[in-house]
Amino acid sequence: MTLQDALNSLNPQQLSAVNYDGGPCLIVAGAGKSAATFCR
């Protein structure tokens, strides 16, 4: 799997967390849920 493949497989919330560059953040994710909580 390439990096682009991995990025393409993310949902919008996950992609937002990956692309965030505004300083420290906390990402909480549960295994198998395909959901993440993204705190700025």
Does this model's pTM top 0.85?
no
Domain that holds residue 35: 3-39
Is the pLDDT score of 8 beyond 80?
yes
Q: What is the DSSP string of 1-40?
A: --HHHHHHTS-HHHHHHHH--SS--EEEE-TTS--EEEE-
Express each pLDDT in 12-37 by its tens digit.
Answer: 888 988 899 999 988 877 776 566 56
Question: For the chain, what is the domain count?
Answer: 1
Please, which residues have CB within 8 angstroms of residue 35's CB and are 6 or more apart in sequence?
11, 13, 29
